[in-house]
């Protein structure tokens, strides 16, 4: 048995293209609807929000889309990222399974988010944009866009969900170090923020509200556009570099995964690791189990409804068909802030409906327990979001043990927890609740779903 | 001009030996003295504190000492670490100099400290030790030893300087995640701690006090030994893997440094980057400028006295000849906690006296300013300690600009600042003081230096 634990690609092997799952989907995605007309939108409808290069990627069905050389040049600072074999964890679990993890925490922001922040900033810069607005939950996305903005000379205005802003006081300092501005959302900088504060000055905020604020500010000025850190097709596309690399690295290791695991909030890191493998399958390759792990406190994929809904609370965004808990759903302040979104990426929802992936939800205490086990075995402290993927991978490894199967498990460790140690403090102090929902509670937010014409829904 | 920014060594090129500067010193180090007899100590005197393998390394004059394969196996998770060319920073400074930095923040603990924590834990484990005690300032060392302890199944008890314990509340969570125990020092777990608390219940602590506590606990039990994160010869030895790698990476880049810069607290990361280059010079190779950068608030190398002194406040440790501010010196609570030690590594003090290195001190605000400039240019937020090296490198690059010289500058970026964002918050809020000392203030602590026999001093 080889004792190798790390599989590194040479820089020259860094993928030159993103992989676009839309090219291989057996059924195309349902259309995106205009929030006013409820009819399919055009590229022109999106132009106030995004640069043309990104709008084209959003609707492209080309299988491979080139990564600009300027973007690859920035990626070289930390990409290709390592693939690790979790040998100590395997031993601790006494499992016959092999566990591999792709580690995205080596980026300057500590997560996978720069994979899309860098190209988004680049395309905006190329089209003359001066300022970007965005929302952030735990702060990883805001940090990453701030970092990208500093590299390309763009102003960045971040709206951070208030409960995370308060839980993670040092996140703002990172964004400010990169030269960005970060305010708690709901804020008094926007009409949508002021309207919510008027009703509840202590509103904890939500990603849906923060998106409303960022979109509202972006459409007001010609030199300003909006950037989203997950959910949309182009964001998922940008993350596929993770899986593209993992394909090459597993070939180096001489293994082929039977199960692929990722955590899902908006869906981007999960898409990043899973789509290139799923694409192989859709083109006639081997079939593999692909498992999305989400928090029980925000269970869009496992308990939400597959329906047209808004991406934000103030209903400024287009409508997409997705698994949703309702755009007015305000998830509790649990610690995996990056997974606290009412909807799921339309493309992930779509393949879930097609039966191409599975989904499972776990409460936060068992996820932290899994993260601590992982840290003691493998040395890396995972982000609270990533703990969901760790939990999912451990459950698969324990199943392999029960069934006596030596399957190969691959999961995405999407970020480290160095910014999130307050959450670990709370976990050790027994302060984390494992909130679940009655069906009736979920039904309430879903009762407000918009009605769309019969020929579309 | 090549646009390469990252120089990665293949795993197979990871150094197999540490480099021992003692082999090439033109004048041997002064002896270490027993705290009771004030006569040169023997290996047996150190046996209650350290395993034999480490005591042998402490006194070895072999040029190369093999890195155990079990240690290299753990290192493979993040080593060899990358060497970067700071092209964006060069452009921002408009300097003709080339700036390279070796980045040690990619380790699981986020700094260079695991380079010695792993071998120390390994050697202790090999000799049957069950428990390690240690001190920590900012928390990097405590984190690293906790991590190493978890990998080798050793209990770890950390005494953290109280002011850092309070400034960095999440550090303890990291150590606990790795399964270690961490208390604020002075603590009530030891006689030396209780004696200090009796006089001042709010004593801010110091590394000297924390060392006393850790040593006191270690000598009480046969199954317990002590681990130190800097200062001693074997610790500096373990860090030379940094410079050994940098030598190979600069050869890949086709460059040869004219100036090497590192920050100094106890001296270990500075030694790590500098000693392999200095060794080349001492064996007849090219002469280079080597610059140690220390905080003006704890200026042992620039303003301390070169004399025999204790390593700790309670005078439990042996005496070494070093640049010292006096073992009772309590530095203020500035934010580079890892540089807050009253003495300097004896080997670094020695080569400073021999004129082989230079030293300079900067106040903390200009160091944070340099760190923010670096973060916006290069994307990595440095630890407050590392900001001193960044400042030193920037000053050298600006000198090159004034002099119109295209020198090659190499510095060690010893860790990232993700755990230290409270310090950046304070910097942005204008809350950091730039404390300096009158000569009379420094003289006071130095008046308490121990007297040693004339034939030794």
- Using a 10 angstrom Cβ sphere, with 0-12 exposed, 13-18 middle and 19 or more buried, the burial of residue A447 is exposed
- Predicted confidence band of residue A339 (pLDDT cuts 50, 70, 90): confident
Chain A contact for B6 (CB, 8 A cutoff)? yes
Q: Nearest by CB to B77, which of A74, A379, A418?
A: A379
Chain A contact for B431 (CB, 8 A cutoff)? no
Q: What is the predicted pLDDT for the residue at A389? A: 98
Cα–Cα distance, A282 to A276 (Å, whole number): 10
Chain A contact for B174 (CB, 8 A cutoff)? yes
Contacts of B380 in chain A (CB under 8 A): 108
Cα–Cα distance, B334 to B362 (Å, whole number): 12
- Here the tokens at position A163 are 């409960």
Residue linked to tokens 């404390």: B435
A369 CA: distance to closest CA in chain B (Å): 10
Cα–Cα distance, B235 to B31 (Å, whole number): 17
Chain B contact for A121 (CB, 8 A cutoff)? no
β pairing state of B259-263 and B289-295: parallel
Contact of B371 with B347, CB cutoff 8 Å? no
**Please, which residues have CB within 8 angstroms of residue B202's CB and are 6 or more apart in sequence?**
none
Report the phi/psi class of residue B109: left, alpha or beta, with left for phi > 0 and alpha for psi in -120 to 50: alpha
For residues A305-322, average pLDDT: 92
- Here the tokens at position B278 are 């200095």
Please report, for residues A141, A257, B41, B176, the alpha-carbon distance to residue A269 in angstroms, rounded to integers and kept in the order given. Answer: 12, 17, 57, 28
B151 CA: distance to closest CA in chain A (Å): 7
Q: Is the peptide bond before A80 cis (omega within 30 degrees of 0)?
A: yes
- Using a 10 angstrom Cβ sphere, with 0-12 exposed, 13-18 middle and 19 or more buried, the burial of residue B202 is exposed
Each residue's pLDDT, cut to its tens digit, for chain B (457 residues) gives 346 789 999 889 999 999 999 999 999 999 999 999 999 999 899 999 999 999 999 999 999 999 999 999 999 999 999 999 999 999 999 999 999 999 999 999 999 999 999 999 999 999 999 999 999 988 899 999 999 999 999 999 999 999 889 877 788 999 999 999 999 999 999 999 999 999 999 999 988 899 999 999 999 999 999 999 999 999 999 999 999 999 999 999 999 999 999 999 999 999 999 999 999 999 999 999 999 999 999 999 999 999 999 998 888 899 999 999 998 887 776 777 778 889 999 999 999 999 999 999 999 999 999 999 999 999 999 999 999 999 999 999 999 999 999 999 999 999 999 988 889 999 999 999 888 888 888 888 888 888 888 777 6
B69-110+234-447: CATH topology:
Rossmann fold (3.40.50)
Cα–Cα distance, B390 to B89 (Å, whole number): 11
Measured from the Cβ of residue A218, the count of other Cβ atoms closer than 10 Å reads 22
Task: For residue range A155-214, list pLDDT tens digits in order.
Answer: 999 999 998 898 777 889 999 999 999 999 999 999 999 999 999 999 999 888 999 999
Angle at A110 between CA B423 and CA A304, to 5 degrees: 115
Give percent of chain A with pLDDT exceeding 90.
82
b (16+ CB within 10 A) / e for A175-197: bbbbbbebbbbbbebbebbeebb
Chain centroid, CA B93 distance in Å: 28
Q: Is the peptide bond before B80 cis (omega within 30 degrees of 0)?
A: yes
Angle at B43 between CA B42 and CA B49, to 5 degrees: 120
Residues for chain B: how many in total? 457
Chain B contact for A151 (CB, 8 A cutoff)? yes
Contact A169 B425 (CB under 8 A): yes
Q: What is the predicted pLDDT for the residue at A306? A: 96
Task: For residue range A47-92, list pLDDT tens digits in order.
Answer: 999 999 999 999 999 999 999 999 999 999 999 999 999 999 999 9
- State whether the Cα torsion A362-A365-A369-A375 is positive or negative: positive
For residues A234-257, average pLDDT: 98
Alpha helices by DSSP H, listed for B325-428, are 346-353, 364-378, 384-403, 421-428
Contact of A78 with B81, CB cutoff 8 Å? no
DSSP class per residue in A39-77: SB--HHHHTTTS-HHHHHHHH---SEEEPPHHHHHHHTT
Q: What is the predicted pLDDT for the residue at B102? A: 98
Q: What is the predicted pLDDT for the residue at B287? A: 94
Residues 293-332 of B with CB under 8 A from A: none
Contact B5 A419 (CB under 8 A): no
- Provide φ and ψ at B65, rounded to 5°: -120, 125
Measured from the Cβ of residue A9, the count of other Cβ atoms closer than 10 Å reads 18
- Predicted confidence band of residue A337 (pLDDT cuts 50, 70, 90): confident
Cα–Cα distance, A336 to A265 (Å, whole number): 9
Contact of A327 with A313, CB cutoff 8 Å? yes
Q: What is the predicted pLDDT for the residue at A443? A: 85
Q: What is the predicted pLDDT for the residue at A212? A: 94
Q: Across the strands, what pairs with B155?
A: B131
Please report, for residues A207, B273, B332, B420, the alpha-carbon distance to residue B140 in angstroms, rounded to integers and kept in the order given. Answer: 34, 18, 19, 10
Cα–Cα distance, A434 to A420 (Å, whole number): 18
β pairing state of B98-103 and B83-85: antiparallel
A410 CA: distance to closest CA in chain B (Å): 17
pLDDT at A457 over 80: no
Q: What is the predicted pLDDT for the residue at B457? A: 65
DSSP class per residue in B78-133: TPSPPEEE-HHHHHHHT-SSEEEEEE-TTSTTSBSTHHHHHHHHHHHHHTT--EEE
Q: Where are the domains of chain A?
A: 69-110+234-447
Say what the pTM is: 0.93
Cα–Cα distance, B125 to B120 (Å, whole number): 9
Q: What is the predicted pLDDT for the residue at A1? A: 36
**Residue of A371, A381, A383 to mutate for B, most B C-beta atoms under 10 A:** A381
ipTM of the complex: 0.90
Measured from the Cβ of residue A402, the count of other Cβ atoms closer than 10 Å reads 8
Nearest to A331 by CA among A179, A163, A184: A163
Chain A contact for B252 (CB, 8 A cutoff)? no
Cα–Cα distance, B143 to B175 (Å, whole number): 5
Averaged pLDDT score across all residues of chain A? 94
CA atoms within 13 A on the CB side of A18: 27
Contact of B415 with B104, CB cutoff 8 Å? yes
Residue linked to tokens 């047209």: A308
**Residue of B253, B381, B387, B417 to mutate for A, most A C-beta atoms under 10 A:** B381
Chain A contact for B88 (CB, 8 A cutoff)? yes
């Amino acid at each position: 048995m080889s004792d190798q634990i790390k599989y590194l690609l040479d820089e020259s092997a860094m993928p030159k293209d993103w992989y676009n799952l839309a090219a291989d989907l057996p059924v195309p995605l349902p259309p995106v609807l205009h929030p006013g007309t409820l009819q399919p939108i055009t590229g022109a409808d999106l132009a106030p929000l995004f640069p043309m290069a990104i709008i084209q990627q959003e609707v492209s069905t080309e299988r491979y889309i080139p990564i600009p050389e300027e973007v690859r040049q920035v990626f070289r600072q930390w990409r290709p990222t390592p693939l690790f074999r979790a040998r100590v964890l395997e031993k601790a679990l006494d499992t016959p399974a092999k566990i591999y993890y792709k580690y995205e925490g080596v980026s300057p922001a500590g997560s996978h988010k720069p994979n899309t922040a860098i190209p988004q900033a680049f395309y905006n810069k190329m089209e003359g944009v001066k300022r970007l607005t965005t929302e952030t939950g735990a702060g990883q996305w805001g940090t990453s866009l701030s970092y990208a903005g500093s590299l390309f000379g763009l102003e960045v205005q971040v709206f951070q969900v208030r409960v995370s802003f308060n839980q993670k006081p040092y996140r703002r300092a990172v964004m400010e170090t990169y030269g960005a501005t970060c305010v708690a959302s709901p804020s008094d900088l926007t009409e949508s923020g002021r309207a919510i504060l008027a009703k509840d000055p202590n509103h904890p905020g939500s990603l849906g509200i923060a998106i409303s604020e960022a979109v509202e500010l972006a459409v007001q000025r010609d030199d300003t556009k909006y950037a989203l850190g997950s959910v949309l097709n182009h964001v998922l596309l940008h993350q596929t570099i993770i899986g593209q690399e993992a394909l090459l690295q597993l070939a180096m290791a001489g293994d082929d995964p039977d199960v692929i695991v990722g955590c899902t909030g908006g869906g981007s890191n999960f898409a990043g690791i899973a789509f290139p493998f799923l694409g192989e399958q859709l083109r006639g390759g081997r079939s593999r189990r692909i498992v999305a792990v989400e928090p029980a406190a925000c269970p869009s994929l496992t308990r939400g409804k597959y329906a047209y809904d808004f991406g934000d609370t103030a209903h400024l965004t287009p409508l997409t068909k997705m698994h949703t808990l309702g755009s007015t759903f305000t998830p509790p302040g649990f610690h995996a802030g990056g997974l606290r979104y009412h909807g799921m990426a339309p493309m992930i929802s779509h393949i879930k409906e097609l039966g191409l992936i599975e989904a499972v939800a776990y409460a936060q205490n068992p996820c932290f327990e899994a993260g601590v086990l992982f840290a003691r075995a493998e040395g890396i402290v995972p982000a609270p979001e990533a703990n969901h993927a760790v939990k999912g991978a451990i459950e698969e490894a324990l199943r392999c043990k029960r069934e006596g199967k030596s399957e190969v498990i691959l999961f995405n460790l999407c970020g480290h927890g160095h910014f999130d140690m307050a959450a670990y403090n709370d976990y050790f102090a027994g302060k984390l609740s494992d909130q679940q929902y009655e069906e009736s509670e979920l039904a309430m937010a879903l009762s407000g779903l918009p009605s769309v014409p019969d020929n579309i829904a």
